[in-house]
Amino acid sequence: MFEPMRSGRFRTLWGGQAFALVAAEFHLLALAWLALELTGSGLALGSVLVAGVAPRIVFALLGGVAADHLDLRRVMVAANAIRAAVVAAFAVTVTSGAAQLWHLYVVAVLLGR
């Protein structure tokens, strides 16, 4: 069961993906919190979270097709690079104080969260 962990490349992959998964869950919490901070509305909070559901379903299907036909390493690197770019742009927006509710919807849709 632990045989793959003997490979340094696998440990690096596993650690990176585990970190990305934890970060994605914290990002979901941050989106919800920011929706409440910006609007004070539970409806806005719920709608931001719902905005990420449909794209997640579509992207999961497309991701499965891509994984079947493309190099898995490239698919993972591209997906993580896109996620990092979206999160970085959003971080700049929030840090500058320019974040608005529509930004949350865009980020939720792009990240599928």
> What pLDDT does 52 receive?
82
Full-model pTM: 0.77
**Domain locations in the chain?**
23-111
Mean pLDDT of the chain: 87
Tens digit of each residue's pLDDT (9 = 90 or more) over 38-93: 999 999 999 998 888 878 788 788 878 888 888 888 888 888 899 889 999 999 99
Q: What pLDDT band is residue 113 in, cutting at 50, 70 and 90?
A: low
Q: Which residue has the higher pLDDT, 113 or 90?
A: 90
101 CB neighbour count, 10 Å cutoff = 14
